[in-house]
Structure 1
Amino acid sequence: MTTIGCVLPPYGNPPSRFAPFARTAEAAGLDEVWLWEDCFLESGPATAAAMLAATERLRVGIGVMPAPLRHVALTAMETATLDGMFPGRFLPGLGHGVQSWMGQLGVRAASPLTLLREQVGALRALLDGERVTTSGRYVTLDDVALDWPPASAPPVLCAAKGPRTLRLVGEVADGVVFDGGAGLAAVRRALPLLDEGRAAAGRPPVRDSGPGSEDPFRVVTFLPVAAGPDAVERVRRAAATEGLDPQDGAVLADHFSWGSAEQVADGLRRFVDLGATSVVAEPTRDEPDLDGFATFVGERVAPLLL
């Protein structure tokens, strides 16, 4: 079954905004709220902790945290702590990080693929309760184990765009996060590359790896959404900001969904039909009412997708 969520972007939103938004999203019936950990805004795990504490059933995902910024043991400790407090409700994600920001911090990796491979492997092992000793190019652990590993380890998700990263994520991760800039065509092209990685690891194809399978693999897709009388104008502004042609209807339809609840649901359903396990509505940067957006998605759009 596909879960329905929305994004609360970090830009323009102070820390005090996140817990109230989570309560609004839960009251609207949404399954998930997603965040990301951009430099130099809110901490992903700290924000997720506040949102989880403010709600009772809502799942909170981070799509994603920059791997170069984080020591894998710290990420494992934070993830295990949140899962221990809120079992099954925290969804951690990792990615390469924005390379210019990683350069500012002095942690830019010469081989982002190697770093991600080492981090994901070590993180999954630690969350599974293993005692880990490894000496890689970027990850070194000497007899490290969590005192309080999760009773059931949460999935480790990864953002991916390029072919090599997609193959790697299919091979080593428990799921993929496609951000709001991906678009439908890019997600369609990505699935065979994920399958190549899974095949290399002896894992079943994405289509055969839904919830309940022996080796489940999550496909999380963000899609920018706009509703209201100025929806088309906001979509066009968002497209121009992303370097897309705001007058090209096919491009807009590939990357956005806008209009009535039925029209937005139709846009999200395209990703469900591709096999997405979570479809996540992302507000445009100039969304005038974020609480209203969450309520619209939860109360009016989500029932059309269930």
Structure 2
Amino acid sequence: MPRIGAIFTPSFPPEALRGAAQAAEAEGVPELWLWEDCFRESAFAAASAALAWTERLKIGIGVAPMPFRNVAALAMEIATMERLFPGRLIPGVGHGVLSWMGQIGARVASPLTLMREYVPALRSLLAGEEVTFAGRYVSLDQVRLDWPPAQAPVVMAAGEGPKTVRLTGEVADGTILPDGSSPDRVARTLALALEGRTAAGRAGSHELVVFVIAAFGGEEARTAVIDQLQRTKGEVDPALVVAGAPEEVAAAVAPFFDAGATAVILQPRDGEPDLNAFLAGVGAVSRLYA
């Protein structure tokens, strides 16, 4: 079934998260995604709080930068949260913005090598396995979690370039695409990820989550989305103008699902004036896809 969710961007302060998470659950939003942009909010501290404040809401992390954390430490965080809130966390990892990684002295020479080593190690640890591995960036010597999850969560990985996208298919359970990704790009991304999955001899389906900027309301909302796309992307693809009443937004995201997305996560426009109204709109769109 197609999944609709929302994003709590770190442009909102941490103290706004409680109200947003509770509003999302009350409005029937199935999942709320968090970012870990430098140097704003910690994804896992925020996710733990959001899970504790709600009862059914799933929390996605899209994404935590791999260079930030030792893979064993990240596995411990995810495993602890999964045991506390079973089935409600969707963890995602990525390269991290290279300039930010440079600012903290964590920029790696080969982000692809890091992902190739890191994601399989993370998935193995979450599966309760003992891991010994000596790679360029990941080094583990007989490491096993004492408290692994009863059921390991999916591990998503962000990818944009062709090499990274293929690699997400090889090593992760799904791929995350950022905002500005058209339905055509969704289709190309899924094809590349499936190529990687097949090359690795992996069976089963592959998740594809895409973030889509959206606004609810009249012409002002539509103009705001167009202006943001023009400012950030340099051009406006009509397929990315997702605005209007919930029925119009639901129709506008249908091509993303047709292209192979398994989840469309609606992202508030910059300067969204009413986050609760936005979340109410996302809940309405989700019900149209139920």
Please tell me the residue identity of whatever aligns with 1:183.
S
Mapping of 1:78-89 within 5 angstroms?
A: 78-89=77-88
Distance 1:280 1:256 in 2: 14
* Residues 186-221 of structure 1: per-residue CA shift (max 9 Å, x gap): 1121121111101101124xxxxxxxxxx3422111
Structure 2 gap segments, 5+ residues each: none
Contact 1:234–1:286 (CA<8 Å) still a contact in 2?
no
SS of alignment partner, residue 270 of structure 1: helix
Q: How does 1:106-185 map to 2 (within 5 A)?
A: 106-185=105-184
Report the counterpart of residue 227 of structure 2 in structure 1: 237
Q: What are the ranges of 5 or more consecutive residues in structure 1 without an aligned counterpart?
A: 205-214
Specify the alignment match of 1:220 in structure 2.
209
What is the CA–CA distance in structure 2 between the aligned matches of 1:243 and 1:187, rounded to whole Å? 17
* Distance of 2:193 and 2:29 partners within structure 1: 28
CA displacement at 1:273 relative to structure 2? 1.7
How far off is 1:241 after superposition? 2.5
Instruction: Give the Cα separation in 2 of the matches to 1:190 and 1:216.
Output: 14
Computed over aligned residues only, the root mean square deviation of the Cα atoms, in angstroms, reads: 1.2
8 Å CA contact 1:223–1:256 kept in 2: the answer is no
In the TM superposition, what is the alpha-carbon distance from 1:121 to its structure 2 partner? 0.9
2:254 corresponds, among 264, 269, 273, to 269
Partner of 1:48: 47
Deviation at 1:70, TM superposition (A): 1.2
Residue identity over aligned pairs, in percent, reads 50
- What is the aligned residue count? 289
Which 4+ residue blocks in structure 1 deviate beyond 6 angstroms? Answer: none
Q: Scaled by the length of structure 2, what TM-score is found?
A: 0.97
1:212 maps to which residue?
A: none
1:177 offset after TM fit, Å?
A: 0.8
Report the alpha carbon displacement of residue 244 of structure 1 after superposing the two structures with TM: 2.3
Amino acid at match of 1:6: A
254-263 or 96-105, larger mean C-alpha shift:
254-263
Q: How does 1:223-302 map to 2 (within 5 A)?
A: 223-229=212-218, 230-245=220-235, 248=236, 251=237, 253-298=238-283, 300-302=284-286
Instruction: Name the TM-score, length of structure 1 as normaliser.
Output: 0.92
